[in-house]
Structure 1
Amino acid sequence: MANLKLLLWNMEWMNDLFDQNGNFRADTHKPQHAPSTTVRTRRNHLSGVINELAPDIVVVVEGPNQEKELNLFFEDDVEGTWVVRLQPTSGSSQCIGCAVRTDRGLLHAEEPIRFFDTRQLPVFQPFELPNQNDGIIEKYQFERFPLYAEIVTAQGEAFRILGLHLKSKGIFDAYEWSKWWAMADANRKKLLAQTRQIRVQFLDKYLGDVATQRIPLIVCGDINDGPGMDASEKRLLGSAIEQLMGNVWRPFLCLGNALFDALPPKDQDALRFDSIYTTTFKDPIFNNVQHREWIDHVLYSMNRAEWVKNARVITTMTDGQKIGTKYKFASDHLPVVAEVELD
């Protein structure tokens, strides 16, 4: 039996750590998106979190744009021996990667990770969908190609990971009110289009095809959406994360949510999610009110019983210190861990 620890983490603009040649910038260099700290401090804080959590698999969101850069980080800064793959996206400085630890003997010695380049898969190419209001065909695309990989254990058991970083809903500048709403609706339409494309054209087919339906699948990443519907989503009659999880009319194709599973029964019964948050930010429009949002998710296929479990958001490190205190400059997102158990 393989029992693996999965870490999902939006590591916030890792590309800032590297120069154009793919080497680390000088230790004293101030990262573009975190000018109040240094490259060395960010490296220490990012690697410090990973080393303390000691995962076997890391899904990296907002990774750098070259695989050799992500490999350099794990090679130089993270304990253990790792095999690293990164899904490039032309023109993007934020890419999705996966690193698997190979020195513990838990993963296949020769090929622990098999990589599928999603740039070559038709489902992730630009696509068209009809507008639900007027039927006009609209064009969409993925700003960042998803990561798609198969992980193989030392016993030869395999499961797959689809790593996502979907369209952001955030608007962090002040606009005339009607323009703000138009932008909010447009962002959510793009996000809903992306989750619909993944659900209908990838997940439904993966879970319904005899060639893949028995291979366990984890769908995880920064979905940029949480449970329920905000004011704009109510206007559009759609929730991105719930669309991704599946249609209640086809329950055998639905995905479980590992963080929901970890809620106390009373919170599950009441659909009370406010104890879960993976990022915080100040609202620039409404007096910098602090928001806590659950937008990073670990979803899993239900073709095996209880194979992804004990998920939690890391807010406190092993020594009792808050992650935001001990590793202040690591990331604006909290790490999510879960156990993967394959017979």
Structure 2
Amino acid sequence: MRIATYNVEWFTNLFDEQGHLLMDDGWSGRQDVTRAQQIEALGIVFTALDADAIMVIEAPDENGKRSTVAALETFAAAFGLRAKKALLGFRNDTQQEIALLYDPEAVTARHDPLGPETGKKGAEDAPRFDGVFRIDLDIDATEDMVRFSKPPLEVALETAKGTELRLIGAHLKSKAPHGARGRDEVMRMSIANRRKQLAQAIWLRRRVEGHLAAGDALIVLGDLNDGPGLDEYEHLFGRSSVEIIMGNGAEPCLYDPHAREALGSRIGAAATTSRFYLANEKRYLQALLDYVMISQDLRGHDPQWRIWHPFNDVDCWSVPDLRAALLAASDHFPVTLDIDI
């Protein structure tokens, strides 16, 4: 079975309000890429992935006029994907939903959020992801009230073999200090954003601990917008979001080989899952942001990870159409897990 995570940059821009694909020469959300070009590229990538389940990060928007499920299922039908059913959890206000696209012949899936619902006062013990989490991050005897801008998607999944899994799709908030003016404001906003992101990671980690304590087979996957050594503010907090969510040797851990490799070398990660153009520096920045983390019990099921990087993966590089499609489709590349379940 193949399970994937894929952050599709501005997927929502490729659909009209009825969920129909905008196959035209209008600009997509990607620089110098038309909607038709991005749609065609995504069709090539999703077809090549041929996954049983794909956690789509930055899925099309869900609001009073738009439907994430309708848009994704329209896209799947247009390219004849076997992963043709879509599942949405809690909608958000960012036009970037988290959704699961899956093959109904291979798996059954349902949104199954855990944790108590909260009001504005929140709760301390891993509340439901659409609620409010209370935590004192800076030991000032004042609790912070934290919300997810993009609530993680919790999925109860069962494979055709009868294996039951828990999937948590996550997209943690970016640390970029958008709108900051001047060095001091950049620093303040960067530190505040990192504090919020780490609070979200702690919240997610508490849910992970609950699943691991219960003996659940668990996969946490998505874009964590973080990793060891990514910015100069990390040293203020000691650990990255990735380290918090995965756990360390003294506690039950999740496993992702690319994350473990990065944690073992502070000089820089050998693996990367994203590629961004820095216009002011006229160069590309590559980073490891996307992960598929599994519980220890699943490591006994012959797991094989793959980053579909157009330059670093030999099979992607050797197929020119796929290589070009990966570059046009998104600023992130898919990560897949092949596992015998």
Q: Structure 1 residues 272 and 161, CA, compared in 2 at 3 Å: closer, same or farther? A: farther
Distance apart, 1:81 and its partner CA = 5.5
Number of matched pairs: 320
Give the counterpart of 2:5 among 5, 8, 14: 8
* Secondary structure, aligned partner of 2:195: helix
Alignment correspondent of 1:115: 111
Which of 26, 30, 43 in structure 2 is aligned with 1:29? 26
The separation in 2 between residues aligned to 1:323 and 1:9, in whole angstroms, is: 15
Q: 1:277 aligns with which of 272, 277, 297?
A: 272
Deviations 1:96-152 (A, max 9, x none): 11112245xxx25xxx21222579853311222113242322211100111111221
Match of 1:307? 301
- Match of 1:37, as an amino acid? V
AA at the equivalent of 2:306 = R
Residue-by-residue CA offset, 1:176-209 (whole Å, 9 max, x unaligned)? 1111111111111111000001112x11122113
Q: Give the conservation status (yes or no) of the 8 Å contact 1:50–1:78.
A: no
SS of alignment partner, residue 329 of structure 1: helix
Of 97, 100, 103 in structure 2, the residue corresponding to residue 98 of structure 1 is: 100
Structure 1 Cα separation of the partners of residues 45 and 23 of structure 2 = 21
Structure-to-structure mapping, 1:45-194, within 5 angstroms: 45-65=41-61, 66-80=68-82, 82-102=84-104, 107-108=106-107, 112-117=108-113, 122-124=127-129, 125-171=131-177, 175-194=181-200
2-structure distance, mates of 1:199, 1:81: 29
**Is 1:325 aligned with 2:331?**
no
Letter in 2 for 1:83: K
Cα 1:258–1:298, aligned 2, differ >3 Å: closer, same or farther? farther
Cα distance, 1:304–1:283 mapped onto 2, change above 3 Å:
same
The equivalences for 1:237-252 within 5 A come to 237-250=238-251
SS at match of 2:211: helix
Partner of 1:204: 209
Superposition deviation, residue 94 in structure 1 = 0.4
Tell me if the contact between 1:160 and 1:217 (Cα under 8 Å) persists in the aligned partners: yes
Letter in 1 for 2:331: D
Contact 1:140 1:190 in 2 (8 A): yes
Deviations 1:223-275 (A, max 9, x none): 0001356320102223111001114322xx211114347x6xxx886577532
- How many Å apart are 1:43 and its aligned residue? 1.1
Query: Which range moved further: 17-26 or 142-151?
Result: 17-26
State yes or no: 1:297 paired with 2:291: yes
C-alpha contact 1:315 1:322 (8 A) present in aligned 2? no
CA distance 1:304–1:5, change in 2 (3 Å): closer
Instruction: Note the residue ranges of structure 1 that are not aligned, 5 or more in a row.
Output: none
Confirm or deny: 8 A CA contact 1:151 1:160 kept in the other structure. Answer: yes
Indicate if the aligned counterparts of 1:126 and 1:139 stay in contact, CA closer than 8 A.
yes
**Aligned twin of 2:235:** 234
CA contact (8 A) 1:258 1:298 kept: no
- Equivalent position SS for 2:162: coil
d(CA) in 2 for partners of 1:225 and 1:243?
A: 11
More displaced stretch, 83-92 vs 330-339: 83-92
Q: Which amino acid aligns with 1:238?
A: R
- RMSD in angstroms over aligned alpha carbons? 2.6
Provide the TM-score with structure 2 as the length reference: 0.84
| CA distance in 2 between partners of 1:81 and 1:194 (Å) | 30
Q: What residue is the counterpart of 2:255 in the other structure?
A: 256
Supply the AA of the counterpart residue of 1:165.
H
Does structure 2 conserve the Cα–Cα contact (< 8 Å) formed by 1:218 and 1:301? yes
Q: What is the alpha-carbon distance in structure 2 between the residues aligned to residue 52 and residue 318 of structure 1?
A: 13
Contact 1:258–1:308 (CA<8 Å) still a contact in 2? no
Does the 8 Å contact 1:43/1:77 carry over to 2?
A: no
1:52/1:318 contact within 8 Å kept: no
Contact 1:7 1:57 in 2 (8 A): yes
Counterpart residue type for residue 293 of structure 2: L
TM-score normalised to the size of structure 1?
0.84
Instruction: Return the alpha-carbon distance in structure 2 between the equivalents of residues 269 and 177 of structure 1.
Output: 31
- Partner SS for 2:328: coil
From the superposition, tell whether residues 199 and 182 of structure 1 become closer, same or farther in structure 2 (CA, over 3 Å): same
TM-superposed deviation, 1:5: 1.1
Counterparts of 2:189 and 2:301 in 1: how far apart (Å)? 40
* Unmatched segments (≥5 aa) in structure 2: 62-67, 118-126, 311-315
Other-structure match for 2:122: none
Deviation at 1:156, TM superposition (A): 1.2
Q: Is the 8 A contact 1:82 1:101 kept in 2?
A: yes
